[in-house]
Structure 1
Amino acid sequence: MLDQGSKYLVVTTLKPGEVVPVVGGLLQFQFVKNPGAAFSIGNAYTWIFSILASLVTLFIVWFARRIRSLGWAIVFGLLLGGVLGNLTDRLFREPGFGVGHVVDFLRIPLLPAIFNVADTAIVISMGLFLILTLRGIGLDGSKPDKTNADSSERAEPQPINGESS
């Protein structure tokens, strides 16, 4: 909702390519229509991105019932919101169904990309994904119990043919 609302404001108030400083030289709005993926890669394959986004959406919805952790719920919620935001553009914006261009408008001059709220949600979800994965937090919120793993005794080698050491 935040993604589509912000895109509506951009489309109705800015001209394509127009740059509006928001926070000095740190953040700008620049309205562009992106037929591709990140960095406008794959402009000729917009319909493939639509199919992939639809599959990711279905997977997340199917997978959601396994999640028992707030952290993982946030990861998949942000990912789902971001994917749906950009998929909505691909399905319902010009030039047509399944090949629509994604509205991008957030520009940080230090970065080589123009992005949107949905992209931000996807990137944040991937960062949280890495943190949870590296910390070993399971979908149920559990962590591996290091005390049991460290304190378990190693089995002594057994003597061969009744020999003792």
Structure 2
Amino acid sequence: MSETEPGRDGVRTTGRSTSRTVALLALVAVVAYLLDLITKTLAVARLDPWNPTHVIGDVVTFKLIRNSGAAFSMATGYTWVLTFVALAVVIGIIRYSNRLVSTGWVIGLGLVLGGAIGNLTDRMFRSPGPLRGHVVDFIQVGDWWPTFNVADSAVVCGAVLLVVLTLLGYDYDGSRSGWAARKDRAVAAEGQEDDDA
């Protein structure tokens, strides 16, 4: 159970050990990575690039493509640059993982880490060669959304979670500000009233 202490504008959580935080981050990243690896392996083995598989009518289709760009087929042609960007993201998350306290931040960064490693693996080991490998994409939603994979989904979901946590005032180090701090003060005040009653 986590202990709490006053933070810069509210409450700061302090009780989780670094090893437990890093273990949770690693678990989330490994699950995201393995899901991406398994689905890409199945996509390459079973999907015909010229014959898409319709999963839900024309809304969701499995269509195998090789993407030299970033997530959702952006920045096509900059594969080696994207490889180094992904590598920097992975190193940054691992390096600063011991500073994390917030469970939400750990989960969000774990998703980003797992997704980044998933696509980085493609760039390192798939053709046409190391640092230039094309990422396997196979999930297509309608004609209006670029084809993507599980790694892309993990990165986007993790990033959205981090943005929401930031906007609500839940910081990576367990401190809380804004809405989150006000909520904690309101809960503490209700608890005090119940104790006094």
> What TM-score, normalized to structure 2?
0.71
Q: CA RMSD in A?
A: 1.7
The within-5 A match list for 1:45-56 is 45-56=78-89
- Residue 16 of structure 1 deviates from its aligned partner by 2.0
**Corresponding residue for 2:91?**
58
Q: What residue is the counterpart of 1:114 in the other structure? A: 147
Q: Radius of gyration: which is bigger?
A: 1
Question: Which residue identity does 1:108 align to in structure 2?
Answer: V
Q: Any idea what SS the aligned residue of 1:42 has? A: coil
Report the alpha carbon displacement of residue 26 of structure 1 after superposing the two structures with TM. Answer: 2.5
Distance 2:90 2:170 in 1: 23
SS in 1 for 2:151: helix
- Is residue 88 of structure 1 aligned with residue 99 of structure 2? no
CA distance, structure 2, for counterparts of residue 22 and residue 89 of structure 1: 25
The Cα shift of 1:138 comes to 1.2
Paired position in structure 2 for 1:158: none
Q: Does 1:33 align with 2:66?
A: yes
1:17–1:32 Cα contact (<8 Å) kept: no
Report how far residue 103 of structure 1 moved.
0.3
Report the alpha carbon displacement of residue 33 of structure 1 after superposing the two structures with TM.
0.3
Aligned residues: 148
Aligned equivalents of 2:50 and 2:65: distance in 1?
A: 6
Query: In structure 2, which of residues 47, 50, 61 is the aligned counterpart of residue 14 of structure 1?
Result: 47
Question: Matches of 1:146 and 1:44 in 2, distance apart?
Answer: 47
**1:78 corresponds to which letter in structure 2?**
L
What's the counterpart of residue 101 of structure 1?
Answer: 134
User: Conserved in 2, the CA contact under 8 Å of 1:10 and 1:31?
Assistant: yes
- Structure 2's unaligned 5+ residue stretches are 1-33, 186-197
**Could you say what secondary structure the match of 1:75 adopts?**
helix
- Structure 2 residue identity aligned to 1:49: L
Structure 1 residue 3 corresponds to structure 2 residue 47: no
Greater mean alpha carbon deviation, residues 116-125 or residues 138-147: 138-147
Q: What is the Cα deviation at residue 142 of structure 1?
A: 3.0
Structure 1 stretch 133-142 or stretch 48-57: which is displaced more?
133-142
Q: Percent identity?
A: 43
Partner of 2:8: none
Cα-to-partner distance string for 1:111-148 (whole Å, 9 max, x where unaligned): 3200000000011011101110100111133322449x
State how far apart, in whole Å, the 1-side matches of 2:110 and 2:119 are. 14
